[in-house]
Amino acid sequence: MLHKKMIKQGIFGLLMLLSFTLKAQQNDTSLIRKNKVATVHKYQFVHAFEGNKDACLLEFKKFNRLSAITFHRTDMKCMGWNNSEEKFYTYENGLLGSLEIRRDNRPYARSVFKYNDAKDPIQITTHYAEMKDTLLSFNEFYRNSKNKLDSTIARRVNNSGKKSLIKSSYRYDKKKNLVQEYITDESGAPLSMVIYDRLPDGKIKNRDITIYGEKPNFKQIYYEYDQKDRVLSTIDSQNRKQLFFYNENGLLNNVYTYNGNGDLEVEFLFKYTYHE
């Protein structure tokens, strides 16, 4: 039987997945498409480890010719853990049809998606292999008069009949930019809230993230941009900073990550192959 916390985490993960599946993490989707990217290798080099001369392959991604991600592997050995995760994406008529997740080379979960005419994922069926349990999620999507997503409701039930509900609400400014995401559980208790403070041109100035519950947390992230409107740097409320560097084609080349004391800790390096 699935724990209630896992049910909520599953809701978060799958709904967020549907929001960002076709967006390449840390690279703009339009640039992935424009450059006909086939694969992305993300290497991690830990400067904090004295004598370290090797970069570790942290993530590997494959994209089809429509620039949709089809495979994503994360090797946690780079973080000091002997674990790995692989995600396999399949599509039907341009929409995500199924997602299979394997952890440490063993089946972990498989999700199947159904859509309405508006291409909203109205039903997600997820089977967890090791626990031999299935979660069925019925999702409702509500839009405002300007056809912007106003709220979503996810009603879920597992094999034992245990039910849960998650509601997500969204607010926009006069320029139709997202300025708030607010998520509550079945009792109306808040789970998380994200507030976007934007510049006059719509770019994000800072993002405030609040997590409620047993382990509450709050973080602010501030953004700076270069002359091409690309993210130049970020710094959070713990004074941790990231610097972003790009190739001539606009794709990320490397990212420097500094700790709160200003010391360079980790560098991420990106390598690409391209469809002909």
Pick from 272, 269, 266, 257: which is nearest to 42 by CA? 269
Which parts of the chain have pLDDT scores under 50?
1-25
At residue 238, the pLDDT reads 94
Give me the pLDDT at residue 62, please: 98
Q: Nearest-CA neighbor of 95 among 114, 111, 110, 72?
A: 114
Task: Encode burial over 3-35: b for 16+ CB neighbours within 10 A, e otherwise.
Answer: eeeebbebbbebbebbeebbebeebeeebbbeb
**Domains in the chain: boundaries:** 173-237
Per-residue pLDDT at 215: 92
> What is the pTM assigned to this prediction?
0.85
Contacts 24+ apart (CB under 8 A), 53-58: 55/269, 58/268
Q: What is the pLDDT of residue 27?
A: 58
β-pair type (178-184, 163-172): antiparallel
Q: Which of 4, 7, 5 is nearest to 128 (CA)?
A: 7
Distant-in-sequence, close-in-space partners of 25: CB < 8 Å, separation ≥ 6: 61
pLDDT value, residue 50? 66
